[in-house]
């Protein structure tokens, strides 16, 4: 959209500027030298087809009780699914309860990931799979 409309701009990396033939107006705008930002493309089409090197993003919430987070994460280990990121945010509706954002290595269509997600759904108040996508190459 930034390429087609001169009133728009994009914040993205050099590779994106090259791919979409965009002019770089300002480089290195981060406030930390080793900053690495992820960008998302959102759509309604569902997850991308498996590539063999994928990640899946999801949200979930659990009861605020001892061991709850351990119980919901254990099926990932049991099914040999590696977790690469987990973050928590407080729920606005309920004090001391949290929404967790999780990235895992694998695609929702892989049997081991599907088994882990099925177990997660049985143990959580809420689960939303945001989608699976090809893993980005490591930054240079």
Which of the following is catalytic: 7, 39, 51, 100? 39
101 is catalytic: no
Active site residue 7: no
Per-residue three-class SS string for the chain: CCCCCCCCCCCCCHHHHHHCCCCCCCCCCCCCCCCCCCCCCCCCCCCCCCCCCEEEEEEEECCCCCCHHHHHHHHHHHCCCCEEEEEEEECCCCCCCEEEEEEEECCCCCHHHHHHHHHHHHHCCEEEEEEEEECCCCCC
Q: Residues 37, 100, 101, 126: which is the catalytic one?
A: 37
Active-site positions read 37, 39
């Amino acid at each position: 959209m930034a390429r087609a409309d001169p009133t728009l701009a994009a914040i993205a990396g050099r590779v994106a500027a090259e791919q979409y033939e965009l002019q770089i107006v300002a480089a290195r705008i981060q406030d930390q030298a080793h900053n690495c930002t992820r960008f998302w493309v959102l759509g309604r089409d569902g997850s991308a087809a498996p590539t063999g090197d994928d990640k899946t993003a999801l949200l979930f919430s659990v009861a605020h009780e001892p061991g709850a987070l351990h119980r919901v994460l254990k099926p990932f280990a049991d099914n040999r699914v590696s977790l690469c990121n987990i973050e928590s945010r407080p729920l606005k509706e309920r004090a001391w309860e949290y929404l967790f954002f999780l990235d895992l290595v694998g695609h929702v269509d892989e049997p081991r990931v599907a088994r882990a997600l099925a177990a997660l759904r049985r143990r959580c108040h809420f689960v939303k799979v945001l989608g699976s996508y090809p893993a980005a190459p490591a930054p240079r």
